[in-house]
Amino acid sequence: MTSVNRRRWLFALLILVALAGCGPNRVIVDGNFPPPLIEPLPLTLGVWFGDDFTQHEFFDGTKSRNESGWVVTTGEAQVQMWDRLLAGLFEQVIVLNSPPGVGRSSSAVAAVLIPHVEELQYALPAHTQIKVYEIWMRYRFELVTVDGQPIAEWTMSSYGKTPTAFLQSDQEAVNLAAVMALRDAGAHFVSQFTRIPAVQGWLQEQGVPSEAITP
């Protein structure tokens, strides 16, 4: 290789390295989620994770995906957390491979839960001047019969934050805040689920003992 060619290759490499630094900060949320310590409800629940849920990612809505400062992918962690949580909350959970709908009938599950992430927002110390990374999420849940008839629908928020720490990168801090938000979502769901009037009515219909239903 001549010295001119070598210089050209070196220049191209430098340009590539410079361009690689121009993209958004990407975080694929990764965490360990514990099972809930709770007496399970004596029911078999079906759960349907739609594509919008399993592939959920967030980026600044005012810009395109590639222009956004951050792209936070939560889908895999969402499925992992909700799988774990629901498996502890109900005696049995069946993850469906197709959505509930007209014409489908099965006595295997009492109802089907469909979670949606409606909104996700983040705040970094650079935005707020507070040395805390924060993530908010808003969920919408549908509880439907196997053939798709609505039983209950409700929304729920969750919040996670983590302080800045020495030798902790922005990506690590955003990941930790997202994990905290997911843990908070689980805590909120457990404390809220049996308090929703439409869910309470459904649980009574299913013969769940009244002491398992929070007044």
Partner 1 sequence: MNASFIRTLAVCAALSLTSACVTSTVDEMTFNEPTEGIGDSSVVILGRRHSSDYETEPDFVACVGDHITSHDTSIRVIDELEFLNALYPWFEPRTAPLYPKNIEQLLQQKPVAQKMLALKLEYLIWLDGSTVRTEGAGSMACSFSGCFGFGTWGHDANYEATIWDFTDQAEVGQVNTSASGQSYMPAVIIPIPIIAPVQGAACDGIGDQLLEFLSSEY
Binding flag, residue 35, partner 1 (CB under 8 A): yes
Name residue 137's amino acid: M
CB of 188 to partner 1, least distance (A): 6
Query: What x-and-dash track marks residues 132-171 binding partner 1 by CB under 8 A?
Result: x----------------------------xxx-x------
Considering the complex, state which of residue 97 and residue 129 has its C-beta at the smaller distance from partner 1. Answer: 129
Binding flag, residue 39, partner 1 (CB under 8 A): yes
- Region of 20-28, 34-42, 55-63, 99-107 interacting with partner 1 (CB under 8 A): 34-42
Angle at 174 (CA atoms; ends 170, 179), nearest 5 degrees: 150
Total residues contacting partner 1 (rule CB under 8 A)? 19
Considering the complex, state which of residue 59 and residue 139 has its C-beta at the smaller distance from partner 1. Answer: 139
Considering the complex, state which of residue 55 and residue 159 has its C-beta at the smaller distance from partner 1. Answer: 159
- Region of 18-26, 63-71, 105-113, 178-186 interacting with partner 1 (CB under 8 A): 178-186
- Region of 47-55, 63-71, 183-191, 199-207 interacting with partner 1 (CB under 8 A): 183-191
Considering the complex, state which of residue 6 and residue 195 has its C-beta at the smaller distance from partner 1. Answer: 195
3-state secondary structure the chain: CCHHHHHHHHHHHHHHHHHHCCCCEEEECCCCCCCCCCCCEEEEEEECCCHHHHCCEEECCCCCCCCCCEEEECHHHHHHHHHHHHHHHEEEEEECCCCCCCCCCCCCCCEEEEEEEEEEEEECHHHHCCCEEEEEEEEEEEEECCCCCEEEEEEEEEEEEEECCCCCCHHHHHHHHHHHHHHHHHHHHHHHHHHCHHHHHHHHHCCCCHHHCCC
Q: Which residues are at the interface with partner 1 (CB under 8 A)?
A: 34-39, 130, 132, 161-163, 165, 183-184, 186-188, 190-191
